[in-house]
Structure 1
Amino acid sequence: MATRPCPRRLGHVVLNVRDLAASVRFYTDIVGLEISDYIEDQMAFLRCGHDHHDLALAQIPTDGSLREATYAPGRPGMEHFSYELGSLAEIEEAARYLQEQGVEIVRGIGKHGPGENLFLVFKDPDGNYCEFYAEMVQVTPEQPHVARVWRNDLAAFDQWHFSRFVVPAPDWGPRGGGEQEGQA
Protein backbone atom coordinates (compact mmCIF):
# COMPACT_ATOMS: atom_id res chain seq x y z
CA MET A 1 0.00 0.00 0.00
CA ALA A 2 1.26 3.47 -0.91
CA THR A 3 1.97 6.11 1.71
CA ARG A 4 -0.24 9.19 2.00
CA PRO A 5 1.47 12.34 0.62
CA CYS A 6 2.91 14.91 3.02
CA PRO A 7 2.86 18.31 1.27
CA ARG A 8 5.49 20.87 2.32
CA ARG A 9 3.42 23.97 1.55
CA LEU A 10 0.78 25.51 -0.65
CA GLY A 11 2.44 26.41 -3.95
CA HIS A 12 1.24 28.24 -7.03
CA VAL A 13 -2.16 28.99 -8.53
CA VAL A 14 -3.08 29.00 -12.21
CA LEU A 15 -5.90 31.27 -13.36
CA ASN A 16 -7.70 31.20 -16.70
CA VAL A 17 -8.12 34.80 -17.87
CA ARG A 18 -10.08 36.57 -20.61
CA ASP A 19 -7.29 39.01 -21.56
CA LEU A 20 -3.75 37.81 -20.85
CA ALA A 21 -2.08 41.16 -21.56
CA ALA A 22 -4.46 43.07 -19.28
CA SER A 23 -4.04 40.49 -16.52
CA VAL A 24 -0.24 40.59 -16.78
CA ARG A 25 -0.35 44.38 -16.52
CA PHE A 26 -2.60 44.16 -13.46
CA TYR A 27 -0.48 41.59 -11.63
CA THR A 28 2.81 43.37 -12.43
CA ASP A 29 1.84 47.07 -12.27
CA ILE A 30 -0.79 46.88 -9.51
CA VAL A 31 0.06 43.79 -7.44
CA GLY A 32 3.83 44.03 -7.94
CA LEU A 33 4.72 40.57 -9.28
CA GLU A 34 7.63 39.93 -11.65
CA ILE A 35 7.41 38.08 -14.96
CA SER A 36 9.35 34.81 -15.13
CA ASP A 37 8.34 33.43 -18.54
CA TYR A 38 5.65 33.31 -21.20
CA ILE A 39 4.32 30.60 -23.47
CA GLU A 40 3.80 32.72 -26.56
CA ASP A 41 0.58 34.73 -26.12
CA GLN A 42 -1.12 31.92 -24.19
CA MET A 43 0.42 31.86 -20.69
CA ALA A 44 2.40 34.07 -18.35
CA PHE A 45 4.32 32.92 -15.26
CA LEU A 46 4.76 35.46 -12.45
CA ARG A 47 6.51 35.45 -9.09
CA CYS A 48 6.81 37.37 -5.85
CA GLY A 49 9.28 35.05 -4.14
CA HIS A 50 11.98 32.56 -5.07
CA ASP A 51 9.74 30.07 -6.90
CA HIS A 52 9.78 30.48 -10.69
CA HIS A 53 6.06 31.17 -10.42
CA ASP A 54 3.53 31.75 -7.67
CA LEU A 55 0.87 32.64 -10.22
CA ALA A 56 0.39 31.53 -13.80
CA LEU A 57 -2.17 33.10 -16.12
CA ALA A 58 -3.67 31.18 -19.05
CA GLN A 59 -5.50 32.86 -21.93
CA ILE A 60 -8.93 31.34 -22.50
CA PRO A 61 -10.43 31.07 -25.98
CA THR A 62 -11.66 34.42 -27.25
CA ASP A 63 -14.42 32.98 -29.43
CA GLY A 64 -17.02 32.99 -26.64
CA SER A 65 -17.05 29.20 -26.30
CA LEU A 66 -16.93 29.18 -22.49
CA ARG A 67 -18.29 26.11 -20.75
CA GLU A 68 -19.97 26.13 -17.37
CA ALA A 69 -18.80 23.64 -14.76
CA THR A 70 -16.88 23.55 -11.50
CA TYR A 71 -13.89 23.43 -13.76
CA ALA A 72 -13.73 23.23 -17.50
CA PRO A 73 -10.86 24.21 -19.74
CA GLY A 74 -11.67 27.59 -21.20
CA ARG A 75 -13.70 28.92 -18.26
CA PRO A 76 -12.34 32.03 -16.50
CA GLY A 77 -11.23 31.51 -12.92
CA MET A 78 -9.02 29.03 -11.17
CA GLU A 79 -7.56 26.25 -13.31
CA HIS A 80 -5.65 24.62 -10.44
CA PHE A 81 -3.87 25.17 -7.15
CA SER A 82 -0.83 23.21 -6.03
CA TYR A 83 1.02 21.67 -3.11
CA GLU A 84 4.75 21.08 -3.08
CA LEU A 85 6.21 17.62 -2.54
CA GLY A 86 9.92 16.94 -2.16
CA SER A 87 10.87 14.85 -5.18
CA LEU A 88 9.89 12.75 -8.16
CA ALA A 89 9.82 9.71 -5.86
CA GLU A 90 7.26 11.45 -3.63
CA ILE A 91 5.12 12.34 -6.63
CA GLU A 92 5.27 8.75 -7.89
CA GLU A 93 4.23 7.51 -4.43
CA ALA A 94 1.43 10.10 -4.37
CA ALA A 95 0.18 8.85 -7.75
CA ARG A 96 0.01 5.30 -6.40
CA TYR A 97 -1.80 6.52 -3.28
CA LEU A 98 -4.34 8.53 -5.28
CA GLN A 99 -5.01 5.54 -7.53
CA GLU A 100 -5.49 3.25 -4.51
CA GLN A 101 -7.96 5.77 -3.06
CA GLY A 102 -9.93 5.98 -6.31
CA VAL A 103 -9.05 9.64 -6.89
CA GLU A 104 -9.25 10.71 -10.52
CA ILE A 105 -5.87 11.76 -11.92
CA VAL A 106 -6.22 14.35 -14.68
CA ARG A 107 -2.64 14.62 -16.00
CA GLY A 108 0.89 13.65 -15.12
CA ILE A 109 3.38 12.67 -14.02
CA GLY A 110 5.24 15.13 -16.21
CA LYS A 111 7.82 17.92 -16.27
CA HIS A 112 6.83 21.39 -17.47
CA GLY A 113 9.13 23.59 -19.52
CA PRO A 114 8.60 26.97 -17.82
CA GLY A 115 9.65 26.49 -14.20
CA GLU A 116 10.82 22.93 -14.96
CA ASN A 117 8.56 21.64 -12.20
CA LEU A 118 7.30 18.08 -12.02
CA PHE A 119 3.51 17.77 -11.90
CA LEU A 120 0.62 15.46 -11.07
CA VAL A 121 -2.91 16.92 -11.30
CA PHE A 122 -5.98 15.29 -9.79
CA LYS A 123 -9.58 16.18 -8.87
CA ASP A 124 -10.98 16.87 -5.42
CA PRO A 125 -14.55 15.75 -4.54
CA ASP A 126 -16.00 18.92 -6.09
CA GLY A 127 -14.08 18.58 -9.35
CA ASN A 128 -11.47 21.25 -8.56
CA TYR A 129 -8.04 20.56 -10.01
CA CYS A 130 -5.31 20.12 -7.39
CA GLU A 131 -1.64 19.55 -8.24
CA PHE A 132 1.33 18.01 -6.51
CA TYR A 133 4.54 19.52 -7.85
CA ALA A 134 8.26 19.34 -7.07
CA GLU A 135 11.63 20.65 -8.18
CA MET A 136 10.56 24.08 -9.41
CA VAL A 137 13.28 26.47 -10.59
CA GLN A 138 14.32 28.84 -7.80
CA VAL A 139 15.11 32.48 -8.61
CA THR A 140 17.56 34.12 -6.22
CA PRO A 141 20.31 36.73 -6.46
CA GLU A 142 22.74 33.81 -6.74
CA GLN A 143 20.54 32.07 -9.35
CA PRO A 144 19.01 34.87 -11.45
CA HIS A 145 16.44 34.06 -14.10
CA VAL A 146 16.01 35.81 -17.43
CA ALA A 147 12.43 35.71 -18.68
CA ARG A 148 11.93 34.03 -22.02
CA VAL A 149 9.09 33.21 -24.38
CA TRP A 150 8.55 29.48 -24.85
CA ARG A 151 7.00 28.09 -28.00
CA ASN A 152 3.48 26.78 -27.50
CA ASP A 153 4.50 23.16 -28.02
CA LEU A 154 4.76 19.82 -26.25
CA ALA A 155 8.14 20.67 -24.66
CA ALA A 156 6.54 23.61 -22.83
CA PHE A 157 3.79 21.32 -21.50
CA ASP A 158 5.78 18.13 -20.79
CA GLN A 159 9.49 17.83 -21.46
CA TRP A 160 9.14 14.06 -20.98
CA HIS A 161 6.54 13.83 -23.80
CA PHE A 162 4.04 11.87 -21.67
CA SER A 163 6.51 9.01 -21.05
CA ARG A 164 5.77 9.06 -17.29
CA PHE A 165 2.03 9.78 -17.44
CA VAL A 166 0.01 7.45 -15.21
CA VAL A 167 -3.18 8.20 -17.17
CA PRO A 168 -3.72 8.26 -20.93
CA ALA A 169 -1.91 11.17 -22.53
CA PRO A 170 -4.11 14.01 -23.74
CA ASP A 171 -4.72 14.53 -27.41
CA TRP A 172 -1.89 17.03 -27.71
CA GLY A 173 -1.90 20.08 -29.86
CA PRO A 174 -2.09 23.77 -29.14
CA ARG A 175 -5.76 24.63 -28.91
CA GLY A 176 -5.70 28.37 -28.61
CA GLY A 177 -4.70 27.97 -25.01
CA GLY A 178 -1.38 26.14 -25.02
CA GLU A 179 -1.84 24.08 -21.92
CA GLN A 180 -5.61 24.01 -21.87
CA GLU A 181 -5.49 20.53 -20.40
CA GLY A 182 -2.26 20.92 -18.54
CA GLN A 183 -1.01 24.09 -17.00
CA ALA A 184 1.89 24.96 -14.83
Structure 2
Amino acid sequence: MKVDSLGHVVLKVTDLARSEEFYSGVLGMPVCARFDEQGMKMTFFSLGNHHDLAIAEVSGEGDAGGDQAVGLHHVAFCIGTALDELVEAKAHLEAAGITPAPVDHEVTKSLYFDDPDGNTVELYVDASDVWRKEPQRVAQVKALQL
Protein backbone atom coordinates (compact mmCIF):
# COMPACT_ATOMS: atom_id res chain seq x y z
CA MET A 1 0.00 0.00 0.00
CA LYS A 2 1.18 3.52 -0.76
CA VAL A 3 -0.35 6.97 -0.74
CA ASP A 4 -0.71 8.50 -4.23
CA SER A 5 -1.68 12.05 -3.28
CA LEU A 6 -3.17 14.36 -0.70
CA GLY A 7 -6.90 14.14 -1.38
CA HIS A 8 -8.67 16.72 0.78
CA VAL A 9 -8.94 18.33 4.19
CA VAL A 10 -12.08 18.73 6.30
CA LEU A 11 -12.17 21.53 8.89
CA LYS A 12 -14.62 22.05 11.76
CA VAL A 13 -15.91 25.65 11.99
CA THR A 14 -18.38 27.47 14.26
CA ASP A 15 -20.11 29.59 11.61
CA LEU A 16 -20.61 27.82 8.29
CA ALA A 17 -21.84 30.93 6.43
CA ARG A 18 -18.91 33.04 7.63
CA SER A 19 -16.38 30.34 6.73
CA GLU A 20 -18.04 29.70 3.36
CA GLU A 21 -17.78 33.42 2.60
CA PHE A 22 -14.10 33.36 3.58
CA TYR A 23 -13.11 30.33 1.50
CA SER A 24 -15.37 31.18 -1.45
CA GLY A 25 -15.57 34.97 -1.35
CA VAL A 26 -12.13 35.90 -0.06
CA LEU A 27 -10.02 32.99 -1.34
CA GLY A 28 -12.08 32.36 -4.49
CA MET A 29 -12.62 28.63 -3.97
CA PRO A 30 -15.71 27.43 -5.90
CA VAL A 31 -18.47 25.74 -3.87
CA CYS A 32 -19.31 22.37 -5.41
CA ALA A 33 -21.82 20.95 -2.91
CA ARG A 34 -23.67 21.54 0.33
CA PHE A 35 -24.92 18.99 2.85
CA ASP A 36 -27.56 19.63 5.52
CA GLU A 37 -28.86 16.36 6.92
CA GLN A 38 -28.85 14.33 10.11
CA GLY A 39 -27.86 17.37 12.18
CA MET A 40 -24.75 18.01 10.09
CA LYS A 41 -24.13 21.02 7.88
CA MET A 42 -21.21 21.03 5.45
CA THR A 43 -19.94 22.94 2.42
CA PHE A 44 -17.59 21.38 -0.13
CA PHE A 45 -15.14 23.30 -2.34
CA SER A 46 -13.51 22.02 -5.53
CA LEU A 47 -10.36 23.12 -7.29
CA GLY A 48 -10.88 20.50 -9.99
CA ASN A 49 -11.37 17.35 -7.90
CA HIS A 50 -14.58 15.99 -6.36
CA HIS A 51 -13.59 18.18 -3.40
CA ASP A 52 -10.37 19.62 -2.10
CA LEU A 53 -11.69 21.25 1.08
CA ALA A 54 -14.82 20.76 3.14
CA ILE A 55 -16.02 22.68 6.17
CA ALA A 56 -18.39 21.27 8.79
CA GLU A 57 -20.29 23.38 11.28
CA VAL A 58 -19.79 22.54 14.97
CA SER A 59 -20.76 24.25 18.23
CA GLY A 60 -17.16 25.03 19.15
CA GLU A 61 -17.71 23.59 22.62
CA GLY A 62 -15.87 20.74 24.24
CA ASP A 63 -12.30 19.64 24.56
CA ALA A 64 -9.76 20.20 21.81
CA GLY A 65 -10.05 17.36 19.34
CA GLY A 66 -13.63 16.55 20.36
CA ASP A 67 -16.50 16.19 17.89
CA GLN A 68 -17.73 19.76 18.48
CA ALA A 69 -14.33 21.48 18.83
CA VAL A 70 -13.02 23.77 16.10
CA GLY A 71 -10.08 22.46 14.09
CA LEU A 72 -9.13 19.58 11.86
CA HIS A 73 -11.81 16.96 11.26
CA HIS A 74 -9.66 14.74 9.05
CA VAL A 75 -7.07 14.68 6.31
CA ALA A 76 -7.56 12.34 3.36
CA PHE A 77 -5.07 10.57 1.12
CA CYS A 78 -5.88 8.94 -2.21
CA ILE A 79 -4.39 5.46 -2.58
CA GLY A 80 -5.75 4.56 -6.04
CA THR A 81 -8.86 3.81 -8.05
CA ALA A 82 -9.54 0.10 -7.49
CA LEU A 83 -11.52 -1.43 -4.63
CA ASP A 84 -8.82 -4.12 -4.38
CA GLU A 85 -6.39 -1.40 -3.32
CA LEU A 86 -8.72 -0.43 -0.46
CA VAL A 87 -9.10 -4.06 0.61
CA GLU A 88 -5.29 -4.35 0.60
CA ALA A 89 -4.98 -1.15 2.66
CA LYS A 90 -7.51 -2.47 5.18
CA ALA A 91 -5.49 -5.67 5.60
CA HIS A 92 -2.28 -3.64 5.91
CA LEU A 93 -3.78 -1.44 8.64
CA GLU A 94 -5.23 -4.41 10.51
CA ALA A 95 -1.81 -6.11 10.44
CA ALA A 96 -0.48 -2.97 12.13
CA GLY A 97 -3.12 -3.26 14.86
CA ILE A 98 -5.42 -0.57 13.43
CA THR A 99 -9.14 -1.21 12.94
CA PRO A 100 -10.34 1.12 10.16
CA ALA A 101 -13.98 2.09 9.61
CA PRO A 102 -15.06 1.56 5.95
CA VAL A 103 -17.39 4.18 4.42
CA ASP A 104 -18.96 4.49 0.96
CA HIS A 105 -19.09 8.14 -0.16
CA GLU A 106 -20.18 7.07 -3.66
CA VAL A 107 -17.48 9.17 -5.34
CA THR A 108 -14.92 7.49 -3.08
CA LYS A 109 -14.67 4.31 -1.03
CA SER A 110 -12.88 5.08 2.22
CA LEU A 111 -11.24 3.82 5.39
CA TYR A 112 -11.18 6.04 8.49
CA PHE A 113 -8.86 5.59 11.46
CA ASP A 114 -6.79 7.65 13.92
CA ASP A 115 -3.06 8.27 13.82
CA PRO A 116 -1.02 7.76 17.02
CA ASP A 117 -1.93 11.27 18.23
CA GLY A 118 -5.67 10.90 17.61
CA ASN A 119 -5.87 12.80 14.30
CA THR A 120 -8.42 11.22 11.98
CA VAL A 121 -7.01 9.98 8.67
CA GLU A 122 -8.96 8.83 5.62
CA LEU A 123 -7.50 6.57 2.95
CA TYR A 124 -9.64 6.33 -0.16
CA VAL A 125 -9.91 5.10 -3.71
CA ASP A 126 -11.73 7.18 -6.30
CA ALA A 127 -14.80 5.21 -7.28
CA SER A 128 -16.88 7.33 -9.64
CA ASP A 129 -16.67 10.56 -11.57
CA VAL A 130 -20.43 11.16 -11.24
CA TRP A 131 -19.49 14.31 -9.28
CA ARG A 132 -18.48 16.00 -12.55
CA LYS A 133 -22.14 16.15 -13.64
CA GLU A 134 -23.77 16.07 -10.19
CA PRO A 135 -21.51 17.84 -7.67
CA GLN A 136 -24.01 17.33 -4.84
CA ARG A 137 -23.22 13.59 -4.95
CA VAL A 138 -19.96 14.41 -3.10
CA ALA A 139 -21.94 14.54 0.17
CA GLN A 140 -22.96 10.85 0.34
CA VAL A 141 -22.29 8.69 3.41
CA LYS A 142 -23.19 4.99 3.35
CA ALA A 143 -21.97 1.81 5.00
CA LEU A 144 -19.30 -0.11 3.10
CA GLN A 145 -18.69 -3.83 3.45
CA LEU A 146 -15.17 -4.97 2.57
1:164 maps to which residue? 145
Decide whether the 8 Å contact of 2:50 with 2:135 is kept in 1.
Answer: no
The 1:54/1:135 distance shift into structure 2, 3 A limit, reads same
Decide whether the 8 Å contact of 1:7 with 1:83 is kept in 2.
Answer: yes
Q: Specify every segment of 5 or more residues in structure 1 that has no aligned partner in the other structure, as ranges.
A: 166-184
Pairing of 1:6-85 with structure 2 (within 5 A): 6-40=2-36, 42-48=41-47, 50-61=48-59, 66-69=61-64, 71-85=65-79
d(CA) in 1 for partners of 2:94, 2:115: 13
1:103-127 Cα deviation digits (max 9, x unpaired):
242x21x2115xx211111111101
C-alpha displacement of 1:100: 1.0
The 1:147/1:103 distance shift into structure 2, 3 A limit, reads closer
The 1:82/1:163 distance shift into structure 2, 3 A limit, reads closer
1:180 maps to which residue? none
Larger fraction in helix = 2
C-alpha displacement of 1:85: 1.1
d(CA) in 2 for partners of 1:163, 1:97: 18
d(CA) in 2 for partners of 1:138, 1:118: 12
Q: What root-mean-square deviation, in Å, do the aligned CA atoms of Structure 1 and Structure 2 show? A: 2.5
1:30-80 Cα deviation digits (max 9, x unpaired):
1111111111270111012x211000111113xx6x2214x3211111000
The 1:138/1:27 distance shift into structure 2, 3 A limit, reads farther
The 1:147/1:100 distance shift into structure 2, 3 A limit, reads closer
Matched length = 142
Give the secondary structure class of the aligned counterpart of 1:120: strand
